[in-house]
Amino acid sequence: MDRDLTLDNQLCFALNAAARAASNAYRSELADLGLTYPQYLTLLALWENDGLTVSELGGRLRLDSGTLSPLLRRLQDTGYVERRRHSRDERRVSIYLTPAGHELKGRMAEVQRCLAGRITMTAEEIATLHRLARRFCEALGENERTVLPKD
């Protein structure tokens, strides 16, 4: 059998398994807060840069509007975000954190500590993995989607 075509030798399979493991680890920790992993990622983006337009947020998270819209609706229903239309262009909608959304950021530190305790890698190994993952995305041309569009 050609070893290049075995499942365990596929980089894409290893990356997918790692992404699923991370998502599953977060899922169990976030459940106590009533959040899903994609909602958590959305909040991270807004804690970093509050007031992104829906299209900017989609680009930052690499999500299409069909996935992002219901996610934002659920975050709005839970009181963590609000939508605001731009006064100069009613078609543009920005997403802002509510006070409850800002308050939630402080509670995330404990989630991060719990997850960090479960990872049996050194800080250097984690930094290397992060750097290589970003480089991998850049090599495949994915970095363009993470750049915020200019207004």
Q: What is the CA radius of gyration of the chain?
A: 18
SS3 81: strand
For range 3-25, the mean pLDDT: 91
Mean pLDDT for all residues in the chain? 89
CATH of the domain spanning 11-146: 1.10.10.10
Report the 10 Å Cβ neighbour count for 95: 23
What is the reported pTM?
0.83
Task: Specify the pLDDT at position 90.
Answer: 79
